[in-house]
A = this chain, B = another copy of it.
Amino acid sequence: MHLRVGLAGLGTVAQGVLTLLSEQADVISARAGRRIEVVRVASRTRREEAVLGDAQFSHDLASLTDPSEVDVVVELIGGETSASELVQSALGAGQSVVTANKALIATQGQHLAELASNNGAALRFEAAVAGGIPVVGALRTGLAANRISRIAGIINGTSNYILSAMANDSADFASVLAEAQRLGYAEADPTFDVEGIDAAHKLAILSHLAFDIPTAFDAVYCEGISQITLDDIAYAAELGYVIKHLGIARQDDAGVEMRVHPTLLPKKALLAKVDGVMNAVMVDGHASGPTLYYGAGAGGAATASAVVADLIELARHSEPAPTVPTVAKSLRSIDDAVSACYLRVDCLDRPGVMAKLASVLSAADISIESIIQHEAEVRRRGEDSWVPVVITTSAVSEARMNAAIASLAQLPEVHGDVTRIRIEGLA
């Protein structure tokens, strides 16, 4: 008996799924052990360009949740409300679900996994993280024997495109963003990508898989790239670093820490070489050691590749793999995080200022690794001359660094905000 698929949505990814399943039908049947056939399609709008083959079309999503006709519902409508209703009614009816909806899994994953488990259904979401890169499969199966201590990934292509272009073309954030929007790499409202929300969704999902914890999007600390300046990129380069927007999740005996923020990486780190819209995720397993997964993080065809991979895996077995039970673990606040830091401070160009900065950090028990100040960058502002001072520190807790930054900002010799970017050695 072939695997009967009900497809929700007719956007780019859904059309990619239809194309893959029809163009590759023979190979996919051979690899899956049986045919995979889209029998029903439901979408608000009927797109004429979509090739539906023998599938029945309906405007009603409820047409898919009929277990006598549809074995697997593929949810590609996005958003959280209708998608959630559809997925819940499918799982409730014992139908397996494949989805690319990262927001849905990141926020409701735990509830949906339990629903799947209680109804003997599978819930699969390879496409929800890093598009065509099979990193969900790597965590679910390839690394399943490991205690994972860390995940660090470039998991938002838009942010990576912008930071890469700023570094390579010496263009500022606003102009690169405009170019990215023109090229279709950024949305008209780019907040979701450039402020890290999309990356935080994916990090919550990766952490769920790596650490067997319920998905906990709300516990992810999230900082975007809109404050990164060309000066920061240039200073980082001078210090031997590249600035990347990373999702980082760590597990140790104290619990799990999840954070998304711009990060200075050593130029030699493999992740530092991942440019443009590409994604990459590094996973540290206690037995496997560090492994890295690289590829296209978005795009219709790449995402469809992941959706169909999930369908093939479902077709191979008459019963879904058992749902992995989750364990609530302590989710640590960003205040408990420990990072080396890059600080940029706009200072009065006057003798004794460096000593004052150093003594504030020293009083907070923070070690300075390096200080850069270029006389060529002195700027007049009113009566005074100002110069940016860049400091890197050794590893320090977030709470202590926050206090030190507040003290620095109160110095009369300091102007404006103190820029802080965390540094990861990825050793």
Contact = CB atoms under 8 A, between A and B. Distances in A.
Interface stretch (A70-78, A139-147, A344-352): A139-147
A399 interface: no
A110 to B, nearest CB: 15
A302 B285 CA distance: 9
Interface of A: 16, 20, 24, 27-28, 30-34, 126, 132-134, 137-138, 141-147, 212, 270, 273-274, 280, 285-296, 299, 301-302, 304-306, 308-309, 312-313, 316-319, 321-322, 324-325
Contacts of A290: 295-296
21 contacts: A16-B287, A20-B145, A27-B212, A30-B212, A30-B325, A132-B287, A134-B143, A137-B137, A141-B312, A141-B313, A143-B309, A145-B308, A270-B270, A270-B274, A287-B302, A288-B296, A288-B301, A291-B294, A291-B295, A292-B295, A293-B294
B137 A134 contact: yes
Nearest to A273: B273
Most B-side CB within 10 Å, residue of A20, A294, A308:
A294
Contacts of A137: 134, 137-138, 141-142
A131 B273 CA distance: 24
Nearest to A268: B273
A202 to B, nearest CB: 16
Most B-side CB within 10 Å, residue of A134, A289, A302:
A134
Contacts of A302: 287-289
Contact of A296 (B273, B289, B319): B289
Contacts of A289: 132, 295-296, 299, 301-302
A117 to B, nearest CB: 11
B325 A305 contact: no
Given A24-B147, A30-B325, A293-B294, 19 more contacts: A16-B287, A28-B145, A33-B322, A134-B137, A134-B141, A134-B291, A137-B137, A138-B142, A142-B309, A145-B309, A146-B305, A270-B274, A286-B301, A287-B305, A288-B296, A288-B302, A290-B295, A291-B295, A316-B322
A31 B212 contact: yes
A289 B276 CA distance: 14
Given A31-B212, A317-B317, A301 B287 contact: yes
Nearest to A16: B287
A146 B308 CA distance: 9
Nearest to A296: B289
Given A322-B33, A322-B316, A142 B287 contact: no
